[in-house]
Amino acid sequence: MKFNIEKILEIMPHRYPFLLIDKAELINENEVLGTKNVTYNEPFFMGHFPGDPIMPAVLIVESMAQAGGFLLLNKLEDPKKANVYFAAINRAKFRIPVRPGDILIHKVKLTAFRSNFCKLEGKSFVEDRMVAEGSFSAAIVERKGT
């Protein structure tokens, strides 16, 4: 099942400038492909780094985690009533810089889901090159104001 940005906005609580996925595709109930179109207009490129723009590694991880969060929220009966919070980032590795014009593809897999606690593994690619990978723990919590 494929989701465009309008459908993502219906599920995810994130908004500009911190929504870091543009498309999502559920491969199966435990796996998602998330896409981030990296443009020169991203606000972080102004200072990271002038003359040599590179997407900050922490934002690559955040984008990957948002794809995982989208996967988790889609498992819920009412995703608008929950948020997904990071609990841990493990074994994060960054292999190749991500630059303006790149299309980041995140492959995120749910490896454990108990009560409101989850574990995920992710890999990020530009074309066929792996640029980052890591594993994450997250908690599903009630969204305030719902």
Which residues participate in catalysis according to the annotation? 48
Residues 66, 19 contacting (CB under 8 angstroms)? yes
Instruction: Report yes or no: 102 and 31 within 8 Å, Cβ to Cβ.
Output: no
Tell me which residue has tokens 């593994």.
121
104 in Cβ contact with 86 (< 8 Å) = no
Distance (Å, whole) CA 11 – CA 15: 11
